[in-house]
Structure 1
Amino acid sequence: MKKDKELKPRADGRYCRKVTLPSGESKFVYGYTPAEVKRKKDKLMLLYALGATNINSKVTVQKWGKMWWEVKKEGKTGHKSQYGYTSAMNNYIFPFMGNMKVIDVRDMHIQTLINEMGKKDLSESLQKKVLIALNGMFKYAKKNGLIISNPVEDVEVYNVPVDIREALTPNEVKIALDTCKGMRAEIGIHLALYCGLRRGELAEIKWEDINNQYECLIVTNAVEYINNRPKKKGPKSEAGIRIIPIPPELWQMLQNSPRNSIYIVPSAKGVQMSESAVRRLIEPVQNRIEKRSDGFRVTWHRLRHTYSTNLEKMGLSPKTRQYLMGHATVSLTDNVYTHFQDEHLEIA
């Protein structure tokens, strides 16, 4: 092999070589063997040919992520999406690889991050949110010539077994309703169980949304929570706008309830519930039930899931169930919520 006259040994045991780019700019590459130096020199020349040496190669993932955020995302998506991006970066991406140089990140590093999340039983949904943020960052880095390939493209989520959100059994429904009787959560629990309201819909529903002539509930809006505060938004999808029949027992309960607020289920102070207020509303009921010898877990989502299963048990068509649940597609109703039970649970 012809000796490289530009190759110089260093006191630290490495070799150094000066590389002059076609632009006239000089750069230095280092390695512990002449072969390593040659590989780095060839890579540098390739990067130059591909136009990928025009950005500081020392930029870190954290610095680049902040640049990408400020230029491409900040203020350009909804509040929930904004929170999702910043949470993914600050809680997962930056702590794991924030100090790495962008050009050094490989799919192996990103896959390791995702695997670590999965091993901690962090949901596949959360893993996907982190991957979405990473993909945006590295796709933008590639577009700007910092890297020649996107290391996120072939990364896969780590499979985490999903807990089946089982509907309450008939006996559990009876216990839940007996337990909440006379408590502040009583109407809210009935609305989730017999009208299938989402948490965000429960906080937004008003007395004016009740149609007295047809004894039904008209759902047109919901709230999302930003830093614990409710922010009014449209329904989760166009299908979220729906008219829900109110069962006789719940109808009578609503007629007998005092209307001290514009909201059917207000906070303890009579105003719209914050995120923590929604959680606190059901906690006393949860605590009483879980202390029983036959205790179980009751949540807002599980109550809504029970409503979905009840619709199935009643023999309603998939389209009707889809409408009443406020889902965009029939498959969402079938795949996410429907869980058959051995006993028939009537809704009315």
Structure 2
Amino acid sequence: MIASNTDSCIKRDRAAIFHDCNRAFSCCIGRRKNNIPGSCRIHVHTVIAAEFQTVVDFYPMIILFIVNSFRIQHKHEGIISKHLNPYLENIKLKDLKPLHLQKIINMLSESGFATGTMKQIKMTASQILETAIDNNLLLRNVFKKIAIPNKPQKERRALTEKEVKMITENWNGHRMSLGAMIMLYCGLRRGELIALEWKDIDLENRIITVSKSAQINPNQPKIKLPKTEAGIRKVPIPEVLMVALRHNQKQDGLVCTMTDGVKMMTGSGWTRAWDSYLYYLNMQYGGKPVTGGKGVTWVIDNKITPHMLRHSYATLLFDAGVDVKSAQKYLGHSCLEVTLEIYTHLSKFKEEQSVKALDSHLRDQGMEKASKARAV
């Protein structure tokens, strides 16, 4: 049961009173009235919260009220079961304190979790309490001002020249080879590639039309429109990709499919296919099964992700001198600042590499030793 008092003239003040019986609740209200000036009005909101006494009891409500897609539902359920349940499941809503979530966040930070992950966990926990407030089960969101520790953001890298060559040379050795080539040389996102159909590829005019994306669910992929208008775009096909497209060309259907060659890829299907593709590349370049049949020796980076290929496409545009406005269009960025940030980062990186190359050249010429000898 919740009671609140309101000053009709100046300010609104609230207090929460929880009791299991009406008699005890009335006594508390009476005591509070004695301390309130006569000009103030008291509004009493009574809520029977037996069904949602603990935090874990209220979890299903968060899915009911704030989730609008299977992917988001899956994400919230994962956060709740993995990060919130173990620490909050037996705590009553009325007993929650900021320190409960702050302790969880601090532990995750010490364990090396990314800032983005911790923000997602805070958002889910906070939305649970906001939903409780909307249903008159709480008066205040105690998780709203939880601090997220600042951590240096991990730099997303592009592929090395060796890795680009590796993917390009193996354009037809695996069922994911063509998809990898499209992401690398046209910059498509994973969801855009999964939804790509052969009718979207105009080989005569060397254009790929990106007009849709796949919502990546574990077993229920769905087609959706891009988040912004910029996501709908026409991307030029470079000559290096034309050979692979012509070799694999079909009249219709999806470009990348499940193993049956027809069905759209699911989230789990993509993971299996991508892992298999990296395994294939590794074996092509000298990887060998470990004695006993348990795993393989990796001679390539087994952490290569689809986004690295897209980032490499941005690097290729920069190296080719493509202007930032055109790059924004090809990459499907809704905001020019995002493309500018990538170009600025690449420019600084190239400058650093140039300085290192100059130093290396001078060392090879013996200039460094000569200058040191002169100084002595």
TM-score interval for Structure 1 and Structure 2 normalised by the shorter chain: 0.7 to 0.9
Name the CA distance, whole Å, in 2 between partners of 1:128 and 1:325.
26
Secondary structure of the 1:308 match is: helix
Structure 2 matches for 1:79-228, cutoff 5 A? 79-228=70-219
Letter paired with 2:130: K
Name the CA distance, whole Å, in 1 between partners of 2:247 and 2:169.
18
Comparing both structures, which one devotes a greater share of its residues to helix? 2
Residue 279 (structure 2) pairs with residue 281 (structure 1): no
Residue 230 (structure 2) pairs with residue 231 (structure 1): no
- C-alpha spacing 1:50/1:142, structure 2 compared with 1 (3 Å): farther
- Deviation, 1:53, is 5.8
Residues 171, 181 of structure 2: 8 Å contact kept: no
Secondary structure of the 2:275 match is: helix
Residue 57 (structure 2) pairs with residue 63 (structure 1): yes
Partner of 1:295: 300
Partner of 2:294: none
Residues 104-126 of structure 1, C-alpha deviations (whole Å, 9 max, x = no match): 11111111122222233333222
* Greater Cα shift, 302-311 or 88-97: 88-97
Partner of 2:24: 26
Total equivalences in the alignment: 309
Name the CA distance, whole Å, in 2 between partners of 1:205 and 1:254.
13
Letter paired with 1:215: R
Gapped runs of 5+ residues in structure 1? 1-18, 30-37
Name the CA distance, whole Å, in 2 between partners of 1:156 and 1:120.
16
Name the CA distance, whole Å, in 2 between partners of 1:279 and 1:24.
56
Residues 203, 242 of structure 2: 8 Å contact kept: no
- C-alpha spacing 1:248/1:153, structure 2 compared with 1 (3 Å): same
Residues 224, 232 of structure 1: 8 Å contact kept: yes
- Deviation, 1:338, is 7.0
- Deviation, 1:306, is 0.3
Name the CA distance, whole Å, in 2 between partners of 1:338 and 1:310.
14
- C-alpha spacing 1:145/1:183, structure 2 compared with 1 (3 Å): closer
Secondary structure of the 1:223 match is: strand
Structure with the greater relative contact order (CA < 8 A, sep ≥ 6): 1 or 2?
1
Residues 210, 217 of structure 1: 8 Å contact kept: yes
Root mean square deviation of aligned Cα? 3.4
Letter paired with 2:89: G
TM-score of the superposed pair, with normalisation by structure 1: 0.76
Residues 121, 160 of structure 1: 8 Å contact kept: no
Residues 309, 339 of structure 1: 8 Å contact kept: no
Gapped runs of 5+ residues in structure 2? 1-16, 288-296, 355-376
